[in-house]
Amino acid sequence: MEFEADIAEGQLCDKCQRPMVVKQGRFGTFLACSGYPECKNTSSIHAGQPQGGGEGTGVACPEEGCSGELVERKSRRGKVFYGCKRYPDCTFAIWDKPIAEKCPDCGHPYLVEKTTKKLGTHLKCPAAGCNFTRSPDEKE
Ligand SMILES: [Zn+2]
Ligand SMILES: [Zn+2]
Ligand SMILES: [Zn+2]
Ligand nearest to the CA of 52: 1
Dist CA 36 CA 18 (whole Å): 10
Residue 87 CA to ligand 2 center (angstroms) comes to: 7
Residue 5 banded pLDDT, cuts 50, 70, 90: low
Residue 101 CA to ligand 3 center (angstroms) comes to: 10
Look at residue 112 in the predicted model and tell me its pLDDT: 96
Residue 139 banded pLDDT, cuts 50, 70, 90: low
Range of the domain at 62: 6-95
Arithmetic mean of pLDDT, 95-122: 94
Residue 21 CA to ligand 1 center (angstroms) comes to: 10
113 is a domain residue = yes
Dist CA 13 CA 7 (whole Å): 11
Residue 50 CA to ligand 1 center (angstroms) comes to: 18
Q: Find all residues with CB under 8 Å of 107, minimum gap 6, and list them.
A: none
Same domain, 102 and 84: no
Same domain, 61 and 125: no
Predicted model pTM: 0.58
Look at residue 51 in the predicted model and tell me its pLDDT: 37
